[in-house]
Amino acid sequence: MNFKIKKDVLLTNLNYVSKAVSSKNVIPILSGIKLVLNKDGLHLEASDDNIIIKTFIDKDDIIEINEAGSIVVPGKYILDIIRKLPNETINIETDGLKILITTPSSEYTLNGMDSSEFPDYLLELNKKPIIFNQKVLIDIINQTSFAASLQESRPILTGINFKIKDNTLEVVATDSYRLSRKIINIDTAIDDNIDIVIPKVSLMELLKILDSEGNIELHIFNNKIVFKFDHILFQSRLLNGTFPNISTLIPEDYTLEVTSDLNELYNIIDRTSLLSDSDKNIIQMEIINNELITTCDTLQVGKVEERIIVEKNNNNNLKISFNARFMMDALKSFNSKKIQILLTNETKQFIIKDATDESLLQLIVPVRTY
């Protein structure tokens, strides 16, 4: 292998695949990035056995291709070296299992590994992928993923459920104490219904390399999903198991609808939680007349009472307790100025939604405090 390339081009693509470089050295070869150079361009690939990322630099974006070849370079070092090199043009060549990175004033010789030892990941594609804008996927992940579970005790809840039926995509995450649901329409007509669970950790890595422009293709298989965008292929395994059926969890009736300014509500909950136990973060919320009052009383520290003016759909009053952190996470997922809270009673899960947009719903299970 022997080629000359502009620093920025190489760095951008190393950055993409580095998100899949394994930090745990269970399989040594997976600590590397596989480079394959041929007359068409340079293929880069990395995997932590959970996700696989492949990217491609077209020959037109490479200054000189002198000799085809392939090698696995140590992921941790190559990225730092290329990032810190000041020169615009970088020479890369191999000598057996050594990789030489040179500029007029710098010379690096890194120990590489045999590319034939790198697992042979074949990334299949569908004929009819689901396509939408990258920005839409960024929003979906940001607005739902925080509600997924961090506990491995119920592995299926560490994933995010993507369900497609007809032209509707429903995305749900829940840790069983709260739930986020986003519903969007998609243009692609699909033949079969889809119901998959993508690990949250995979989507978090994907989020780091998504751009807000351009489309993304979703190629869904039985046990894996491939995202294709720009020159990038990103594959994640899927979680096995059945995601809970949430249709029964979302209350259809409620006794009180409260409309509040989003920021005002966020801020009083943030301040009220200052006095709460930092583990459980429990605060009380009371809707009384035209006021929403949040309170927290902690024996050792003291107590707080914050109030804002809200609108209601009837004269009902109500008092409820919940985890302030959950409420703040939920509120942060909305872009609107006003939100609605749909409440039933002090034990029933309640809903938060945008007053003007039905696509996003957040649900929180209250805490009993008596």
Q: Name the one range near a second copy by CB under 8 A: 77-85, 116-124, 141-149, 339-347.
A: 77-85
Taking the CA atoms of residue 331, residue 332, residue 333 and residue 336 in that order, the dihedral angle to the nearest 10 degrees is 80
- Is 300 a binding residue for a second copy by CB under 8 A? The answer is yes
Pick 154 or 303: Cβ nearer a second copy = 303
Pick 195 or 270: Cβ nearer a second copy = 270
- Sign (positive or negative) of CA dihedral 218, 160, 162, 207: negative
Instruction: Name the minimum Å distance from CB 10 to a second copy.
Output: 16
Residue 35: which H helix or E strand, with range?
strand 32-38
Site string for a second copy, 56-75 (x = CB under 8 A): ------------------x-
Residues between 302 and 331 that touch a second copy (CB under 8 A): 302-308
Pick 247 or 300: Cβ nearer a second copy = 300
Task: Give the Cα separation of 199 and 145 in Å (integer).
Answer: 10
Q: Phi and psi dihedrals of 57, rounded to 5?
A: -105, 115
DSSP label of 153: T
Beta strands at 360-364 and 178-185: parallel, antiparallel or unpaired: antiparallel
Of 37, 168, 36, nearest in space to 45 by CA: 36
Amino acid (1-letter code) at residue 274: L
Pick 166 or 305: Cβ nearer a second copy = 305
Task: Give the Cα separation of 234 and 206 in Å (integer).
Answer: 7
Of 92, 102, 107, nearest in space to 33 by CA: 92
Cβ proximity of 272 and 283 under 8 Å:
yes
> Which distant-in-sequence residues (6+ apart) come within 8 Å of 335 by Cβ?
354
- Is 95 a binding residue for a second copy by CB under 8 A? The answer is no
Q: Name the one range near a second copy by CB under 8 A: 45-53, 84-92, 242-250, 360-368.
A: 84-92
Pick 69 or 129: Cβ nearer a second copy = 69
- Is 278 a binding residue for a second copy by CB under 8 A? The answer is no
- Is 124 a binding residue for a second copy by CB under 8 A? The answer is no
Q: Name the one range near a second copy by CB under 8 A: 55-63, 228-236, 262-270, 328-336.
A: 262-270
- Is 105 a binding residue for a second copy by CB under 8 A? The answer is yes
> Which distant-in-sequence residues (6+ apart) come within 8 Å of 96 by Cβ?
none
Site string for a second copy, 164-193 (x = CB under 8 A): ------------------------------
Binding site for a second copy (CB under 8 A): 74, 77, 80-81, 84-86, 98-99, 105-111, 267-268, 270-271, 274-275, 300-308
